[in-house]
């Protein structure tokens, strides 16, 4: 991911982009009459910094990050823990699990785009086009055809015969929508066993006449014990990884 950001920066600051051909340049070099040179910063620096602020969000939404963080948040809610694990811990787990799942895609980007660009075998624009191919293939593999067709119709495009024919501007929102749906489906399955424990504890307390005692106080230790006994973390992590085809 860091190398992909470096490629994007190299493209924005490449000689082709910074050439004085009527386009905005990051640094304008003016030669004075005495032979000295003066440098002036133009609006391209502002455009570059604005683009950098959007790159992390774009990279996160085009990977497995969305599905993982939603599932982990639902899992924490199902167990009944409000602040444990903390948001920082959940985000850290999600980031490293994302790196693990996306490792083949990043390796493909490195082999087909970054290394040829660093070797000056391809231009920056060609490197960017080559880097988009594996990312787009990954997203299409996880995106439902119905979502692709829906966003294509919203964009006023004809329904394509093959998903690969859709532009990246259609693939990204369709991928995000599919990821959210899949995350909620996994979260629903995770919620069921914890919900059963809550129902059993609430029924027992009602039968004992202890209606003033909150069922959450009693059910929380049982849910934690069940989650630990079944090795819940490895089951959740393994399910999320295999849902992307890792290890299959």
Which residues, 6+ apart, have CB-to-CB distance to 75 below 8 Å? 187, 190, 236
Domain that holds residue 81: 67-242
Q: How far is CA 25 from CA 1, 9, 30, 36, 136, in A?
A: 27, 14, 12, 19, 30
Q: Which two tokens stand for residue 239?
A: 């399910």
- The pTM score is 0.74
Residue 18 in domain: yes
Looking at per-residue confidence, does 18 or 73 come out higher? 73
163 and 188 in a common domain: yes
Q: Which two tokens stand for residue 178?
A: 């599919």
Q: Give mean pLDDT, residues 133-142.
A: 88
Q: Give mean pLDDT, residues 194-216.
A: 79
Helix or strand run (H / E) with residue 207: helix 168-207
Residue 248 in domain: no
Return the percentage of the chain with pLDDT > 70, whole number: 78
Residue 29's DSSP bridge partners are 39
- Work out the pLDDT band at 42, boundaries 50, 70, 90: low
Residue-level pLDDT at 180: 92
Residue 33 in domain: yes
174 and 108 in a common domain: yes
118 and 50 in a common domain: no
Residue 247 in domain: no
Residue 197 in domain: yes
Residue-level pLDDT at 39: 47
234 and 220 in a common domain: yes
Percent of residues in the chain assigned helix, strand, coil, to nearest 5: 70, 5, 25
126 and 77 in a common domain: yes
* Residue 11 pLDDT > 80: no
Nearest Cα residue to 198 out of 217, 182, 185: 217
196 and 81 in a common domain: yes
216 and 137 in a common domain: yes
Residue 128 in domain: yes
* pLDDT, tens digit (0-9, with 9 covering 90-100), for 80-114: 887 778 888 889 999 899 889 988 888 888 888 88
Looking at per-residue confidence, does 14 or 198 come out higher? 198
Residue that finishes a domain, picked among 35, 61, 87: 61
95 and 45 in a common domain: no
144 and 56 in a common domain: no
Residue-level pLDDT at 71: 92
Residues 45, 39 contacting (CB under 8 angstroms): no
189 and 76 in a common domain: yes
Taking the C-alpha atoms of residue 28 and residue 49, their distance in angstroms, rounded to an integer, is: 17
Q: Which residues of 64-81 are buried (b: 16+ CB within 10 A; e: fewer)?
A: bbbbbbbbbebbbebbbe
Give me the chain's average pLDDT, please. 78
Residue 6 in domain: yes
Taking the C-alpha atoms of residue 179 and residue 18, their distance in angstroms, rounded to an integer, is: 38
Cis omega (within 30 of 0) for bond into 77: no
Taking the C-alpha atoms of residue 204 and residue 210, their distance in angstroms, rounded to an integer, is: 9
Q: CA gyration radius for the chain?
A: 25
The total of structural domains in the chain comes to 2
Looking at per-residue confidence, does 216 or 223 come out higher? 223
Residue 162 in domain: yes
Which residues, 6+ apart, have CB-to-CB distance to 160 below 8 Å? 148, 152, 166
**DSSP conformation class of 248:** -
Residue-level pLDDT at 13: 47
- Work out the pLDDT band at 47, boundaries 50, 70, 90: low
Residues 37, 30 contacting (CB under 8 angstroms): yes
* Residue 23 pLDDT > 60: no
Q: How far is CA 122 from CA 110, 114, 116, in A?
A: 13, 9, 6
* pLDDT, tens digit (0-9, with 9 covering 90-100), for 70-89: 999 999 888 888 777 888 88
- Work out the pLDDT band at 19, boundaries 50, 70, 90: very low
Residue that finishes a domain, picked among 42, 61, 80: 61
201 and 138 in a common domain: yes
What's the N-to-C CA distance of the chain in angstroms? 24
Residue that finishes a domain, picked among 45, 61, 77: 61
173 and 117 in a common domain: yes
């Amino acid at each position: 991911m860091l190398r992909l950001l470096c490629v994007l920066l190299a493209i924005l600051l490449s000689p082709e982009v910074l050439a004085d051909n009527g386009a905005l340049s990051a640094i304008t070099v003016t030669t004075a009459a005495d032979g000295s040179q003066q440098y002036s910063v133009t609006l391209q620096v502002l455009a570059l910094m604005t683009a950098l602020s959007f790159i992390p969000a774009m990279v996160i939404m085009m990977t497995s990050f969305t599905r993982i963080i939603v599932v982990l948040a639902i899992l924490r809610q199902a167990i009944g823990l409000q602040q444990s694990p903390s948001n920082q811990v959940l985000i850290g787990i999600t980031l490293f699990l994302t790196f693990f799942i996306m490792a083949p895609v990043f390796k493909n980007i490195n082999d087909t785009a970054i290394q040829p660009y660093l070797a000056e075998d391809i231009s920056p624009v060609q490197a960017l086009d080559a880097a988009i191919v594996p990312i787009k293939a990954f997203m299409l593999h996880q995106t439902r055809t119905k979502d692709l067709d829906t966003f294509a119709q919203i964009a006023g495009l004809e329904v394509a015969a093959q998903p690969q024919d859709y532009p990246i501007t259609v693939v990204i929102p369709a991928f995000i929508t599919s990821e959210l749906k899949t995350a909620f489906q996994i979260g629903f399955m995770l919620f069921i066993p914890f919900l059963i424990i809550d129902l059993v504890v609430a029924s027992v307390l009602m039968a004992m006449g202890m209606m003033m005692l909150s069922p959450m106080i009693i059910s929380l230790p049982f849910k934690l014990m069940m989650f630990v006994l079944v090795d819940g973390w490895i089951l959740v992590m393994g399910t999320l990884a295999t849902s992307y085809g890792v290890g299959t």
